[in-house]
Structure 1
């Protein structure tokens, strides 16, 4: 989709484009009904596909309107936000390790690089200052025991990491 298309709102019965989103009412391949697909500008796959209400004639879809579009944008945005939160949770883990001097935050962040996937093991002090960081394998077993061992070992790269 070009930038010009993204900037020009469209308000048609089966196609509505505004606010960086496009809603398209489509024939539901599963049955005789209709569905609506929500696309975020620049994306080829829909962020949301859901059933759409039939019109009064029970054959054609109900036309899109501003209220329905705004609700669809809110719902699709929430789906994307949840997906991003889930992905972040899968790629980022954090533990606390107490030392004699401080309470450290040890984080494990997977970098899903297609050519060289890896993870970063990072230690921050209570003030948020980074104390150490080392690159480890993405399948490194990150748990309380491995975090404590890394700290106790002076932040040397863990064996087998």
Structure 2
């Protein structure tokens, strides 16, 4: 057997950095920076390929109370976990903003009415759709992305035969 160390295939050695104030690994960079708001330090976590950090937070002072504590493996892994959680929450919030639904009782039975906003840069729009209890589409129309879905509006739309959105 050879004692030659094989670099991690996912992280080329020239991309991996482990310095006291800069770590790059696992698709993330952690950089300790001067805190603009006070005399302390902050750390910013930036995902590879992104220009803006996903997370910026306070960083611990070192023993000399002037310089920052150096980054280390446990701190880096905690920061990666926290930054991934921030991104996951942001995605969930965005999804909740773009996709809403209400359930109503209509002549067709229990109906789910959905509003899906399509945030296209040039011409954003939304799609209002209705589905029966089996998931079969009853109706679909295009509406303004500013359309506010409510039980009352969905009920009115169903009562009107799923014509215009009102």
Measured against the shorter chain, the TM-score band is: 0.7 to 0.9
Alignment of 1:1-150 (within 5 A): 8-150=15-157
Name the SS for the 1:156 alignment partner.
coil
Structure 2's unaligned 5+ residue stretches are 1-9
* Residue segments in structure 1 that go unaligned for 5+ positions in a row: none
Deviates more, 1:7-16 or 1:46-55: 7-16
CA contact (8 A) 2:32 2:44 kept: yes
Aligned residue pairs: how many? 157
Q: Which runs of 4+ in 1 moved over 4 A?
A: 3-7
TM-score by length of structure 1 reads 0.87
State the Cα distance separating 1:91 from its structure 2 match. 2.0
Shift of 1:122: 1.1
Of the two, which has the highest radius of gyration?
A: 2
Instruction: Verify the 8 A CA contact 1:6 1:18 in the aligned structure 2.
Output: no
Instruction: Give the conservation status (yes or no) of the 8 Å contact 2:115–2:129.
Output: yes
Give the TM-score normalised by structure 2: 0.84
Matches of 2:123 and 2:77, distance apart in 1 = 41
Aligned residue among 134, 147, 154 for 2:161: 154
Q: CA RMSD in A?
A: 2.2
